[in-house]
Homo-oligomer: A and B are copies of this chain.
Amino acid sequence: MSLKNIIVGQSGGPTAVINASLCGVVRESLSRKGDIGKVYGMIHGVEGFLEGRYMDLGEELGSKELDLLRVTPAAYLGSCRYKLPEDMSSEVYPQLFAKLEEMDIGYFFYIGGNDSMDTVSKLSRYGKQNQSRIRFVGIPKTIDNDLVLTDHTPGFGSAARYAASAVREIVLDSSVYQQKSVTIIELMGRHTGWLTAASVLARKYKGDNPALVYLPEHPFSMEGFARDVERELGRRRSVVVCVSEGIADKEGRFICEYGQRDLLSCMGKEALADPGAGGEAGLDQFGHKMLAGCGKVLERFIKENFGVKVRSVELNVGQRCCGMLASLTDVQEAEKAGRAGVDFALKGENGVMVAFSRKGNGEFYELEYSAVDVGKVCNREKKVPKTWILEGGNDVGEEYAEYALPLIQGAVSPPMEDGIPRYLYRKQIFPDGV
């Protein structure tokens, strides 16, 4: 009997370490020569695979390439945002399984977040219903850290390290002038504040900036914000505020969708003239959804209400794609998660996700890897515990630092070429480029 092959895909938004997990899957598979045949990679996840695109990773990646892959951000195999149909009688399923059987796949690994775990869950259920022997395993990945049943998620530590470092540097940058100022830093996180909370790690001493930190887990009010800023401006010259992109008011309306009327009404003013479409909540002058985030809305609000210099900074995609500032701990754990996935699959697990549990913390920090039911992970969301958010919803307690600090330790040094990082690029195997 010939050995079964494996196939691995990447899905959802890129991170600094999703390729470290890919590296882990490939390295572990190649080290199990007696158990595994070929090691394939789907190009652009399930979506590209359905169109027949994949590559032989064992052939493409030698030891040097794997070293480089491990520290290369974004998704080497390409990614997708493809959701499998809820309807299990959809023709997509037999199509996909026919391809897998044709390639003699025995093990299927999918590295991704919530939606990707949904894919693993559906495929494993379909497989079980149809007597397939293919084993499906999810490798967690998301900078949002919002997956349940795992202590944390690969990708988060690097994003948190980037955020904390960048906030510390922006705090220094904001402190140079003697004039009073407010600086608003907008961090990623639509529904959860794990990443935004990392900005508290930027504080060097008690009372250091950022002075105010707002997460989506707590309802945001413009009135409360105005009071907080006023108090802080009385205490210090430079006030730095960190906010999640997804902060919303108690009615659940996103602050980034506040238009002119909302802002004026928060200030107790009426719109003076017909503001045009630009005045409508969430719409810009074209009547289209706003492009700007909540940072700009708050910047405008401060500008209108306080006579101080104000600016907003969106940390943006660097949070998920900056390989130069990745956390070494995160890279190592991401790789081990990939290796553990292969190990679990070979031991017979199917329909599972690799999960982390913490054994000891602080200097005794250590992780254990286990397999949890992927069906219990997908379509759920882990939020920052309410008890970690301080009263008033404008700061985060000590518990957060205890939780997050072990995850941001250690620096990675990608090899350099011409002064900037040398990363691994997929060969130009398709005429339309990478």
Out of B72, B291, B433, name the residue touching A296 (CB < 8 Å).
Answer: B291
**By the criterion CB–CB under 8 Å, are B420 and A408 in contact?**
yes
Residues 68-91 of A, flagged 1 when their CB comes within 8 A of B and 0 if not, give 000011110011110000000000
Residues 235-266 of A, flagged 1 when their CB comes within 8 A of B and 0 if not, give 11110000000000000000000011000000
Out of B78, B201, B286, B313, name the residue touching A176 (CB < 8 Å).
Answer: B78
20 A-B interface contacts by CB (under 8 A): A14-B173, A74-B172, A75-B176, A78-B178, A80-B177, A166-B322, A169-B318, A175-B433, A235-B433, A237-B434, A238-B434, A273-B276, A275-B276, A275-B277, A279-B285, A286-B300, A286-B304, A292-B296, A313-B317, A405-B419
Out of B165, B236, B321, name the residue touching A432 (CB < 8 Å).
Answer: B236
Given A236-B433, A285-B275, A313-B317, residue A173 in contact with residue B74 (CB < 8 A): yes
Q: Which of A23-31, A334-342, A410-418 sits within the interface?
A: A410-418
- Chain B residues with Cβ below 8 Å from A235 are 433
The 10 nearest A-B residue pairs measured at CB: A276-B276, A278-B278, A408-B419, A74-B172, A173-B321, A278-B285, A79-B176, A260-B285, A75-B176, A44-B178
Chain B nearest CB, measured from A41 CB (Å): 13
- Chain B residues with Cβ below 8 Å from A327 are 419
**By the criterion CB–CB under 8 Å, are B14 and A322 in contact?**
no
Chain B nearest CB, measured from A17 CB (Å): 13
- Among A284-329, those with CB < 8 Å from B are 284-286, 288, 291-292, 296, 299-300, 303-304, 312-314, 316-318, 320-325, 327
**Does chain B have a CB within 8 A of A423?**
yes
Instruction: Kindly state the separation between the CA atoms of A299 and B405 in the bound complex, as whole angstroms.
Output: 37
- Chain B residues with Cβ below 8 Å from A96 are none
Out of B201, B276, B286, name the residue touching A418 (CB < 8 Å).
Answer: B201
**By the criterion CB–CB under 8 Å, are B314 and A314 in contact?**
yes
**By the criterion CB–CB under 8 Å, are B314 and A316 in contact?**
yes
Interface centre among A72, A175, A205, A285 (most CB of B within 10 A): A285
Given A175-B433, A279-B285, A327-B419, 7 more contacts at CB 8 Å? A14-B172, A78-B177, A80-B178, A169-B317, A169-B322, A236-B432, A276-B285
**Does chain B have a CB within 8 A of A231?**
no
- Chain B residues with Cβ below 8 Å from A166 are 318, 322
Instruction: Kindly state the separation between the CA atoms of A294 and B31 in the bound complex, as whole angstroms.
Output: 51
Seen from chain A, the residues whose Cβ lies within 8 Å of a Cβ on chain B are 10, 14, 44, 47-48, 72-75, 78-81, 161, 164-166, 168-170, 172-173, 175-178, 201-202, 204-205, 235-238, 259-260, 273-279, 284-286, 288, 291-292, 296, 299-300, 303-304, 312-314, 316-318, 320-325, 327, 405, 408-411, 413, 416, 418-421, 423, 425, 432-434
Instruction: Kindly state the separation between the CA atoms of A320 and B259 in the bound complex, as whole angstroms.
Output: 32
Instruction: Kindly state the separation between the CA atoms of A423 and B164 in the bound complex, as whole angstroms.
Output: 13
Given A73-B173, A291-B300, A405-B419, residue A316 in contact with residue B317 (CB < 8 A): no
- Chain B residues with Cβ below 8 Å from A173 are 14, 73-74, 317, 320-321
Chain B nearest CB, measured from A420 CB (Å): 5
Instruction: Kindly state the separation between the CA atoms of A300 and B10 in the bound complex, as whole angstroms.
Output: 30
- Chain B residues with Cβ below 8 Å from A236 are 432-433
- Chain B residues with Cβ below 8 Å from A177 are 44, 78-81
Closest to A79 in B: B176
- Chain B residues with Cβ below 8 Å from A161 are 419-420
**By the criterion CB–CB under 8 Å, are A237 and B432 in contact?**
yes
Out of B172, B276, B285, name the residue touching A73 (CB < 8 Å).
Answer: B172
Instruction: Kindly state the separation between the CA atoms of A413 and B237 in the bound complex, as whole angstroms.
Output: 30
- Chain B residues with Cβ below 8 Å from A259 are 285
Instruction: Kindly state the separation between the CA atoms of A175 and B317 in the bound complex, as whole angstroms.
Output: 13
**By the criterion CB–CB under 8 Å, are A321 and B73 in contact?**
no
- Chain B residues with Cβ below 8 Å from A81 are 177
Chain B nearest CB, measured from A324 CB (Å): 6
Given A276-B274, A418-B201, A419-B410, residue A48 in contact with residue B178 (CB < 8 A): yes
Out of B14, B292, B423, B434, name the residue touching A168 (CB < 8 Å).
Answer: B423
